[in-house]
Chain A
Amino acid sequence: MRFLLVEDNIQLASAVVDRLTLDGHAVDHADTISAAHACIAAASYDLILLDIMLPDGDGRDFLAAHRRAANKTPVIVLTARSQVSDRVGLLDLGADDYITKPFEFSELEARCRAVLRRQGGVADNRRSFANTVLDSMAATLSFDSTERNLRNRELRLLEIFYGSPGQIFTKSHLMDRLFSFDEEASENAIEVYIGRLRKKLEGSAAKIETVRGLGYRLVAVS
């Protein structure tokens, strides 16, 4: 997917860009409102992540202009202001959602996904491996013309594997991606989710293989 990140804090912006790029998204970064306008004029985006306090103006003005121009690209506002002061106004101005800094990337992803799902989805939201297709927006896994629904964590776990088939992921890596940091999670919990995924993949040409002592990887059944 293609993101536009409008954020004047360079360190935060580079971290967000890095992280989204790691997950295979394309991200353009604008550090001012005028740069953001230039980006929008030049390219089309699936989603805009917008900071409110920008050096050349208020992100809300950009938002209002964006909506006046009948631009339908969804906007998620990144706000660092007090939760009590201006949230309602953000949604009234046409933001699709907001997230408070500092945020967890998995929450940002979840909000992006929710917003995009509401919008009707984007084209490149399917990934296939062997004879299976993983549809992130619909949260389904299909093969042999059958469709299985995935719960959120199952989907996110599958997304990790489908993002890099054949790569070995350690349990601790998967835990970090799946659980929030204030959750008490054990490595057993990962085994539970792997077990569920194996059930859903049963009968397909793909399977999650245990690499003893290292972790798990997605492989095609020969």
Chain B
Amino acid sequence: MFWPAKSSIRRRLTVQLLVIAAALSLVFFLIVRVIADQAATATQDNILLASATSISDALYSERGAVTVEIPYSALSMLGTISQDRVFYRVSEGGRTLTGYDDLPLPDVAPRAAQSRFDTFLYRGETVRSVAVSRTVSSGGSNVDVTVVVAQTRLGLALISSRISFFAAIFGVLFFLVATALSLLAAQSALSPLERLKQSLQRRGAHDLRPVQAELPDELTPLVDALNNFMGRLRASLAQSEDFIAEAAHRVRTPLAVVRAQAEIALRRVERPENKTSLREMIRAVDESSRSAGQLLDHAMVTFRTDALADDEFDLAVVTKSVCDHLLPTAELKDILLIQQFPDTPCPFRGDAILMQNALRNVLDNALKYSPADSTVHIGVDSDDQGYRISFNDQGRGFGSSDVASLTQRFSRGSNVADIVGSGLGLTIADEVARAHNGRLEISSNPKGPGACVSLIFPQP
């Protein structure tokens, strides 16, 4: 049987069970009908035979001729069945003694004490007939007399149709009961799969712990394979994290040496051209370390969004910790961080490390592009819609650059070529926001200089 590749097991099972139930109902109906027909026919045959026998018993010979007086009972017993019409014919060697001349005789007369049943069309109606023979002594010779009694089958058809009707009703009832039972059977057969499905749905896409539902033997290999796969994925993710951490260490340590040595050399050299080249060198180190760092951070963010941690934390607390951490950096440029947090807690579920990284990237950007002696406003707003964490600076803004493209990898504003940056900071923030069902909103301050970057999260 053809089934589409993507089909429902439940539908398949149900349809198969229903087809079987339908076939069984039909067979039941047919068998009942055949048996009923046979029983009705046998009853009619018996009565016909009794009638014919009683007629043949009434044959006698009188003055050398075979005579018959049809006994009343012989025909009345037929009448008891129904309003069917009765035909009879008594013939002696082809000559009709009494009855219907045209009632056909059997081709071969039955032997004595034997009967012959037949069904044929007579006078436009199907009739059932029986023929019996009897040898009558008449005038010293033996004469073979054949008695034929026939009866239409209307009553029989009535009985048969009534039985068929009931058989059909029973067939349909059987089918309906079978349908209900099939649905129940499919339901119960599939309930372990349903349990597995629910257990997988409940845990969310990022939960890589093994599945531990109670499942039948048939599903064990599947679940084992699934658990095995999740285990390998978990190990591979952990390995990647270790690898990225190690890579960051390997790249950053030598850069730190170069940078530190260059800064000291800058203190010691006198000639302006030497100072200029050392400054260039430090800028290049900053650029490469920042790019390498953010590339690795970005890789880590990608990994972690695949297996998002499910921490409970307070968005305002995390934002405050990020501000606290960057406060010394801000002070270096005499930038004032004005922080505004709601009085009520801001509970949130997600990956706290990723969130911290995203917020730090945004604030780091704001500080980097802010002039000395300026102010950065950091605000956390909470309402029934959700949370908005916004960073407003008085920097140069995003100029004429396409604000939407700024979150793309390695895309930087058109007015920032003189400042070290990798173009990944906002990308990271954007990806983290989206991993938490939120979004990053970037706008230039319409009234004067500055930019506003907000992370917006719906209420969990």
Contacts and interface: CB of A to CB of B under 8 A. Distances in A.
Interface string A92-123: 00000100111111110011011000000000
Given A80-B249, A85-B245, A181-B286, A12 B360 contact: no
Interface of A: 9, 11-12, 15-16, 18-19, 22, 53, 80-88, 91, 97, 100-107, 110-111, 113-114, 151-153, 172-173, 176, 180-184, 189
B193 to A, nearest CB: 38
Interface in B172-212: none
Contacts of B297: 82-84
A177 to B, nearest CB: 8
16 contacts: A11-B261, A12-B257, A15-B264, A22-B267, A82-B248, A82-B296, A82-B297, A84-B297, A86-B245, A102-B285, A107-B328, A114-B327, A152-B334, A153-B333, A176-B267, A181-B420
Given A16-B260, A153-B334, A182 B419 contact: yes
A80 B279 contact: no
Query: Main SS of the interface on chain B?
Result: helix
B142 to A, nearest CB: 122
A84 B252 contact: no
Contacts of A151: 334, 373
B322 to A, nearest CB: 10
A182 B368 contact: yes
Nearest to A152: B331
Interface in B225-257: 241, 244-245, 248-249, 252-253, 255-257
Contact of B328 (A81, A110, A172): A110
Contact of A100 (B293, B304, B353, B373): B293
B389 interface: no
B248 A81 contact: yes
Interface centre among B261, B353, B357, B372 (most CB of A within 10 A): B372
B105 interface: no
Contacts of B327: 114
A184 B263 CA distance: 17
A84 B301 contact: yes
Interface in B342-387: 352-354, 356-357, 360, 368, 372-373
B241 A85 contact: yes
Contacts of B333: 152-153, 180, 183
Contacts of A16: 260
B252 A80 contact: yes
A184 B419 CA distance: 8
B272 A81 contact: no
Contacts of B325: 97
Interface string B271-295: 0100100010011011001000100
Closest 6 CB pairs of A and B: A15-B260, A102-B256, A101-B256, A110-B328, A80-B252, A84-B300
A109 to B, nearest CB: 9
